[in-house]
Chains A and B, each alone.
Chain A
Amino acid sequence: MHRDRAHYVARRTAAALLMVVVALTLNFVLFRALPGDASASFGAVPEATPQMREQLRRDFGLSDPMPTQFVKYVEQLGHGNLGISVVDRQPVTGRLGDALKNTIPLALGATLLAIMFGLLTGTLAAWRQGGVTDPGMTGVALTLNAMPVQWVGLVLIVGFSSWFASGGMHDPFLVDVGAWARFTDYLRHLVLPMTTLALSLFGSFHVIVRSAVLETLGEDYVLTARAKGLSTARILRRYALRNALLPTATLIALTLGFVVGGAVLTETVFSWPGVGRAVYDAVTHRDFPMLQGAFLVLTLSVVLFTYLADLLYLVLDPRVAAS
């Protein structure tokens, strides 16, 4: 049993590392397949003299052969150096670090809200299958899932921006105030983007939980539990939800991995200075170092959370090690 577990962990670790290596290579190649480079991104800019473009290409090695650029990229990565941003000539690490700090509360908060409500409504819908509750709740969840997230964001801005902020992370003109005022101002700015993102994620959680709970409720041991007179709450808590947690854990891990990498549309609508917006700006400027760094963050977060989900599986269902 212990040997099975050790093998399981070793296999998952090797797979995670391989994913990172493949993703890093693809990160490098795919962006350079786009037409145009950083010098082209300056387009119709009066200061973009031929000398400036040439200097940019020289400084960032854009004229070097692709293999040479790749070797330099890997060497820098090996030293923990993500390079210098083409746009402001500052280290990518600093900018990405700031962007990540801004994205994490948004992503975590939205995912937690989506999980909470998804678990609640998914379980309720499964328990009340056949009545009005199930189709009603599932209809709402699917509708929200189908709505473009940027449209949901704009609707919330139009409807609620009198109470909550329309954009940005805080009121930059709020000066000489205490910590509590700053904190509530931050929350004011967080509410709408977090709600937007949570609404876009909620549908998936509802459907997965509902499906998993429905499957469990059809099992013989649940019928036995009912026959023994156990309460609804106890059956749901001790039998249905526990088994529904397996697919839900996978969804949570994948969601967190991708959302931390940047909820581009949400961050753009709300001008939230996170990783998603940084990625969008980097793409339009062909800021390769920034793009590579941002996608490294995305890759690592997806791989990390998937890896953690695999390990969590082992705890939730030790049988996976043997299989």
Chain B
Amino acid sequence: MDRLTSSAAHGRRHRRVAGLLLAAAVSTATALSAAGCGGGAGAAGSTGGGTLRFGDALSNIDATNPFVGTNVLARAAYEQTYPELVQYGYDNQITGDFAKSWTFGDDGRTLTMKTAADAKWSDGRPLTSRDAAWTLNTAVKYKDGPTAAFGSGIDGLVSAEAPDATTLVLHYSRAAGTALSQLRRVPILPQHVWAPHVGSDGKGLQSFRNEAPIVSGGPFIWTTFKKDQVALFKRNPNYYGKAPRLEGFGIQHYSSNDALLQSLKNGEIDAALELNGVEANSLKGMQGIKVKSGPGWIWDALGINSNPKRTDHRELLDPDVRMAFAKAIDTKELNDRLQLGYAQPTATQIPVGEFSDPSLKPVAVDVAGANALLDRLGYRKGANGIRVADGHPMSYQLDLSTGFGSSERVAQLLTASLARIGVKVDAKIMDGSAFWDRVTGPDYKYTNSQLFVESWSNYPDPDFSLSLQTCAQLGGLNETGYCNKDYDKLYQRQASEIDVAKRKPIVYRLQQMLYRDRPFSVFYNEPAIEGWRAQWTGYGRMKGSTFSALSKFPLIDVHRAS
């Protein structure tokens, strides 16, 4: 065969191969598309409550082990998997979960609870008050070590005993007025699963993988967990409480909000959690999608370093200077620009509700008033327009965390707001670890930072939010370095007060102190926004997220509409 013929044959062979490859590519693409069109086989075809598919891009479940996992989604997963003694009800009041009733002793140091009878774990073993006693005693025993993550739930607890299968008696070192709101945060674990892993020093409690499927006592059994990917749950037939209507649910983690929204639009998921105002507006009006929005459980604020021992910029410790800053900031503008109007105005860190002091109002923007206040203090503006306090310019570093969201825009708005009263601000944005290190540093001496922006969770019970400003939390959750002995004494009083009617005025006084001293100047409560596909209903009966760490109720009523 000569060269030309060989080349021609070679060319024909190439064309045949190319044709076959093209046909294969088209077939594969068709098959892939067809595989994608039907959606999850387990999701679309179910009857009854259905299987709900959540997506979330803001946080993930860090661990299946409650002694290790601290992310909000992890806590929400534990809420659905494990019993808790109490939870928040539809009215945001503490109500029973595994504990059906309770009484305090006369001195408030004993709490006797009656727990659900004939309850079972998902593996069929009895779920009794003895599991609760074991969990709490183990948490107390190792609270400075492996069970430290349960510490905020067992403050003041000395011991727990279970005289019978449905009675639990808790002994506290002081009158435990806030015991119920704290116990809500402690998942009750199956003793028969966890006890073998304690070891001699309790460290086995943290290293125990607690692999799915998890022995569960809550409304759902945690069946699958792939870190940073997905967690799947199915209804627990042995649940002692009101059975959920869902047959199961799953939560898929996304690391991009755009991918999350696209998945919702395409029907790959049924609901997208933790959306912001921009995302909510992008979904509104879309066929087949509903937006659920309402007040959430997170407040945002300007934090001001309140370390009384700071040596520089001592004018920052003056409540009048802090009030001037508050008056210069237009929180409505912040709400409109950052949250697109979805946030809820609030005066303090305590959520609007039973314990929020009605006499305290959000500080109205008053630039003239702020300027007058600083003029009265003698902080005159220099030639460059920046005020001078005690011989140095009122020029501060404003620290923000990348985790805050819209941190650049917040920085711009606050810089402009404070510039109107002659205060210069230099914004620095950094990741969460560097931010915390800067704000509390060096080594929790609280001398580095000046101003910062922060957001914190709050709860219906004000105890946690109030605790953030105590001297006891220096080196812990206290970010501002605020330490006021009178405040701490009042805080302990409210923590010990069992009678709500007597506790409220104490809580009001604490709020008034924070309002006056302003370690945090609160902007608003962030909204809780979710996107839902229209074939789902039953959500939205409680404030906050449907996949909640506060209560099992938000998910109980969710189901596929007929």
**Residue picked from B53, B437, B479, most chain A C-beta under 10 Å:** B437
State which size class the interface on A falls in. Answer: 35 or more
Binary contact readout A19-53 vs B (1 if CB under 8 angstroms, 0 otherwise): 00000000000000011111011111111111111
State whether B431 touches A184 (Cβ < 8 A).
Answer: no
Name the B residues within 8 Å of A59 (CB-CB).
203
User: How long is the Cα–Cα vector from A87 to B65 in the complex, in angstroms?
Assistant: 11
Q: Given that A166-B266, A168-B254, A188-B36 are known contacts, is A284 also in contact with B477, CB under 8 Å in the complex?
A: no
User: How long is the Cα–Cα vector from A53 to B441 in the complex, in angstroms?
Assistant: 14
Nearest Cβ on chain A to B217's Cβ, whole angstroms: 21
Q: Given that A49-B476, A168-B254, A187-B32 are known contacts, is A36 also in contact with B434, CB under 8 Å in the complex?
A: yes
Q: Which residue of B lies closest to A150 (CB)?
A: B256
Name the A residues within 8 Å of B32 (CB-CB).
163-164, 184, 187-188, 191
Nearest Cβ on chain A to B25's Cβ, whole angstroms: 12
Nearest Cβ on chain B to A236's Cβ, whole angstroms: 14
State whether A51 touches B144 (Cβ < 8 A).
Answer: yes
State which size class the interface on B falls in. Answer: 35 or more
Q: Which residue of A lies closest to B455 (CB)?
A: A44
Q: Counting CB contacts under 8 A, is B305 at the interface? A: no
For chain A, residues 227 to 263, give those with C-beta under 8 angstroms from any C-beta of chain B: 231
**Interface window among A125-133, A209-217, A264-272, A304-312:** A264-272
Q: Counting CB contacts under 8 A, is B457 at the interface? A: yes
Name the A residues within 8 Å of B51 (CB-CB).
173
Name the A residues within 8 Å of B70 (CB-CB).
42, 45, 47-48
Q: Counting CB contacts under 8 A, is B561 at the interface? A: no
User: How long is the Cα–Cα vector from A157 to B473 in the complex, in angstroms?
Assistant: 45
**Interface window among A138-146, A174-182, A292-300, A313-321:** A174-182
Q: Is the interface of B mostly helix, strand, loop or mixed?
A: mixed
**Interface window among B226-234, B353-361, B508-516, B528-536:** B226-234
**Interface window among B38-46, B80-88, B164-172, B344-352:** B38-46
User: How long is the Cα–Cα vector from A239 to B83 in the complex, in angstroms?
Assistant: 73
Q: Counting CB contacts under 8 A, is B206 at the interface? A: yes
Nearest Cβ on chain A to B138's Cβ, whole angstroms: 15
State whether B36 touches A34 (Cβ < 8 A).
Answer: no
State whether B36 touches A43 (Cβ < 8 A).
Answer: no
User: How long is the Cα–Cα vector from A185 to B39 in the complex, in angstroms?
Assistant: 10
Q: Counting CB contacts under 8 A, is B47 at the interface? A: no
User: How long is the Cα–Cα vector from A278 to B207 in the complex, in angstroms?
Assistant: 20
User: How long is the Cα–Cα vector from A143 to B553 in the complex, in angstroms?
Assistant: 53
State whether A161 touches B437 (Cβ < 8 A).
Answer: no
Q: Counting CB contacts under 8 A, is A76 at the interface? A: no
Q: Counting CB contacts under 8 A, is A2 at the interface? A: no
State whether A174 touches B41 (Cβ < 8 A).
Answer: yes
State whether A166 touches B262 (Cβ < 8 A).
Answer: yes
Partner-B contacts on A (CB < 8 A): 34-38, 40-55, 59, 84, 87-90, 95, 154, 157-158, 161-169, 171-177, 181, 184-185, 187-188, 191, 231, 267-271, 273, 277-278, 280-281, 283-286
Q: A45-B70, A184-B35 are in contact. List 13 more A-B contacts (CB 8 A).
A: A44-B455, A55-B145, A84-B207, A87-B62, A88-B68, A158-B258, A161-B259, A166-B259, A167-B263, A172-B229, A176-B42, A277-B228, A278-B228
